[in-house]
Structure 1
Amino acid sequence: MNEPRNDDPLIDVREVTKAYGHGPDALAGLTLRVRAGEALAVLGPSGSGKSTLLNLIAGLDRPTSGSVTVDGVRVDRLGETASAKYRRSRIGMVFQFFNLLDDLTVTENVLLPAQLSGMPRVRAAARAAELLARLGIERHARARPGRLSGGERQRVAVARALMNRPPLLIADEPTGALDSVSGAEVRDLLRGLNADGQTLVLVTHDLSLAESLATRTVELVDGRVARDFPAVTR
């Protein structure tokens, strides 16, 4: 796989169409480029193509036409095995409802991506401890996720997503299941990660979250980019 040149975007989506049987296309010739270090918020009403775009970037689905390149990898050309490897090494994903395993401890949940990628155990344990400390949840290392608050569980999910040092972090409605206080904590956490250089793509219905977190916002309507604008303040 070719590595991207320094002047290449981290995400390069070109003329992508995605059709699902009958009805209008979920994406209709969409082109989008995201540079390393950006925090991109993707807004739009239900059915605008946000989730489809996210799935294509993550290699969970393939476009009907067009190309999707992430970190130098032609994601739309990957087979099932290569796609799974790509997600383990290059994508971290954070979801609205955490997707943690309640029968595992916090540390064991965070370690899962390292185990799947074959990271040596000692190095994986050190990385997990580093992330728990960085995200302020080291005291919960041996707890089960069900004993944590929503905000704490989302921090565990972020730590898990960062375990393999992915160049891209995808967050799908990361504050949607949280109260306002926990949501603000997660927002500040993601903003801090981006300030440290982590590229972030955020899908949300929450305009205030996008305004406070993103360095750039795109709005999708009917599978196309209707607006693309930088943040005024953050």
Structure 2
Amino acid sequence: MTTPLIEIREVSRGYDDGPPALRNASLTVAAGEAVAILGPSGSGKSTLLNLIAGLDRPNSGTVTVDGVRVDELGEAAAARYRRSRIGMVFQFFNLLDDLTVTDNVVLPAQLAGMARGEAHRRAAELLETLGIDRHARAYPGRLSGGERQRVAVARALMNRPALLLADEPTGALDTAAGEDVCGLLTDLNADGQTVVVVTHDLGLARSCTRRTIQLVDGRVSADLASEPVR
């Protein structure tokens, strides 16, 4: 049996005196899958994303990603793990407005110590693949929302991560741009990229993933396979 890319076992996470954000949650994701983590606000999906990304630690249980026990990592090791194995795409892009598109995209490679020439070649390749190479010298503020999200995806893919995490990736976009980004994620997955989308939007989950894991009150309530609706 192939080892899962993501393996979460009996994970719980609570904060202060409130109810646990996650309660004995378990799930696995195989390499090459496109999976949506679906749930309303307060369901625990953001906590789960943070645990997978090594931004938080569980109170109990284990989190293993690409062979790494993420729940055991210290702060410095977690930062190295994110640089080498995780690409993250956020709802509001998180681009640096005072850097050009190319400089935003190469930033993760610079942090990882990639040579300048290699980093710029990789960035140019990604921008061309994602159809935004004409904006290489532009600043993010001059781009549309959909174009900025494509820049964010290019940045996330810069270090060839094993896992692409997308947190409400269409939440700040209009319908047409959202469909464009959803199609992009589907195409990336078709090329072999493992994608996990965190969302409250059932339509998004169905449109760009083949499996939906539903969270309710911190528990996995359903795990459903489906074909993307395009």
TM interval, short-chain normalised: over 0.9
- Is 1:115–2:115 an aligned residue pair? no
Distance 1:204 1:62 in 2: 21
Distance 1:233 1:31 in 2: 24
Distance 2:67 2:228 in 1: 31
Letter in 2 for 1:121: R
Distance 2:223 2:76 in 1: 34
Q: CA RMSD in A?
A: 0.9
2:202 to 201, 207, 214: 207
Distance 1:214 1:139 in 2: 29
Letter in 2 for 1:14: R
Aligned to 2:44: 49
Letter in 2 for 1:17: S
Distance 1:16 1:142 in 2: 44
**SS of 2:41's equivalent?**
coil
Q: TM-score, normalised by structure 1?
A: 0.96
| Identical pairs, percent | 72
Distance 1:224 1:115 in 2: 38
Aligned to 2:140: 145
Question: 8 Å contact 2:107–2:155 — kept in the other structure?
Answer: yes
**Cα distance change on mapping 1:149 and 1:120 into 2, 3 Å:** same
2:27 to 28, 32, 42: 32
1:102 to 97, 101, 114: 97
Aligned to 1:3: none
Letter in 2 for 1:195: A
**Alpha-carbon shift at residue 100 of structure 1 (Å):** 0.2
Question: 8 Å contact 2:208–2:228 — kept in the other structure?
Answer: no
2:166 to 154, 167, 171: 171
**Alpha-carbon shift at residue 16 of structure 1 (Å):** 0.2
Letter in 1 for 2:3: D
Distance 2:99 2:8 in 1: 37
Distance 1:30 1:209 in 2: 23
Q: How many residues align?
A: 229
**Alpha-carbon shift at residue 233 of structure 1 (Å):** 4.7
Aligned to 2:17: 22
Q: TM-score, normalised by structure 2?
A: 0.98
Structure 1 unpaired stretches of 5+: 1-5
